[in-house]
């Protein structure tokens, strides 16, 4: 894990129409680091992700891998090396698993055969279902497909928006194990927004807590897991 900032966000404001949702957000993600943003519904987590991806109008500074992407369009941000797994997965349900993955590699020049096999190795359940339509997969399998499809672009950083949403606890545990593997074995940087605070903090190198569009706490995953205020707000007070 690098000590430098791979993604640096400074003074980020964004919203929808006249409603400002983010109020001067500042946070960083290091190379090969998993950073989690926690927050309740409506805190602005998804808005932060959409801002980084260029999907909504935003103001402030966003630097990634030494380049200013503050005003870049979504396609340019993808080509710069940021892929997003959106909330709700966003798979092409009428396409096969294989076709979904091929679509994910649309920016890659040359053969993607090795990429397909790499992610089928990491997600063997997808290899078993490569000829099935994505819409026939379980929710957990679709989430795995969404992650694998995002990785087909050969990104430097992966953004995951509520990856555990709607998943059973055992499936969530397996998904988070895979996300940890992307960091540990592939040196992938990940920014994850999540409501499952306990599992997310156990995975995170660092985390930020977002309330009504502002960062109100930050620390390592272990530090926030040990914080009584965080436990009360996000872990039901469980010690």
If asked whether residues 77 and 180 sit together in one domain, one would say yes
If asked whether residues 59 and 165 sit together in one domain, one would say yes
Extended strands (E) in the chain? 5-16, 19-30, 34-38, 58-64, 67-68, 82-85, 157-161, 189-194, 206-211, 214-220
Domain assignment of residue 30, yes or no: yes
If asked whether residues 229 and 165 sit together in one domain, one would say yes
Mean per-residue pLDDT over the chain, rounded: 92
Pairwise CA distance, residues 35 & 8, whole Å = 12
If asked whether residues 159 and 72 sit together in one domain, one would say yes
Question: Model confidence over 179-199: pLDDT tens digits?
Answer: 999 999 999 999 999 888 889
The proportion of the chain whose per-residue pLDDT surpasses 90, expressed as a percent, equals 79
Domain encompassing residue 123: 94-154
> For the whole model, what pTM was predicted?
0.91
pLDDT band at 1 (very low <50, low <70, confident <90, very high): very low
If asked whether residues 55 and 145 sit together in one domain, one would say no
Question: Model confidence over 120-142: pLDDT tens digits?
Answer: 999 999 999 999 999 999 999 99
pLDDT band at 70 (very low <50, low <70, confident <90, very high): very high
If asked whether residues 132 and 68 sit together in one domain, one would say no
């Amino acid at each position: 894990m690098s000590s430098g900032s791979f993604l640096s966000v400074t003074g980020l404001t964004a919203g929808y129409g006249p409603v400002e949702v983010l109020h001067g957000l500042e946070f960083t993600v290091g190379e090969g680091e998993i950073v989690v943003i926690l927050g309740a519904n409506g805190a602005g987590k998804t808005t932060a992700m959409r801002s980084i991806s260029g999907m909504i109008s935003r103001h402030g500074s966003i630097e990634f891998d030494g380049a200013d992407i503050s005003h870049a369009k979504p396609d340019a941000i993808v080509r710069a090396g940021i892929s997003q797994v959106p909330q709700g997965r966003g798979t092409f349900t009428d396409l096969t698993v294989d076709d979904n993955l091929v679509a994910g590699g649309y920016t890659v020049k040359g053969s993607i055969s090795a990429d397909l096999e790499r992610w089928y190795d990491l997600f063997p359940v997808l290899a078993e279902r490569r000829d099935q339509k994505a819409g026939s997969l379980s929710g957990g399998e679709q989430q795995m497909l969404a992650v694998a499809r995002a990785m087909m672009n050969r990104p430097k950083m992966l953004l995951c928006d509520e990856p555990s949403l709607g998943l059973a606890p055992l499936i969530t545990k397996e998904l988070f194990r895979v996300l940890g593997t992307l960091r540990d074995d592939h040196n992938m940087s990940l920014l994850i927004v999540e409501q499952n605070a306990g599992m997310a903090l156990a995975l995170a190198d660092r985390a930020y807590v977002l309330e009504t569009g502002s960062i109100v706490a930050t620390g390592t995953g272990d530090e926030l897991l040990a914080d009584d205020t965080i436990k009360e707000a996000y872990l039901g007070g469980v010690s």
